[in-house]
Amino acid sequence: MAAQPKGPLTYFPSIEKTYGRSIDQWLNEIAASGITGHKALVDWLKAEHGLGHGHANALAAYHLNPGKWPAYTGAE
- The 10 Å Cβ neighbour count of residue 13 is 15
pLDDT per position as a tens digit, 13-52: 999 999 999 999 999 999 999 999 999 999 999 999 999 9
How far is residue 27's CA from residue 1's CA, in Å, rounded to a whole number? 28
Kindly indicate the confidence band of residue 60, based on its pLDDT and cuts at 50, 70 and 90: very high
pLDDT computed for residue 1 by the predictor:
42
Taking the whole predicted model, whether its pTM rises above 0.85 is answered as yes
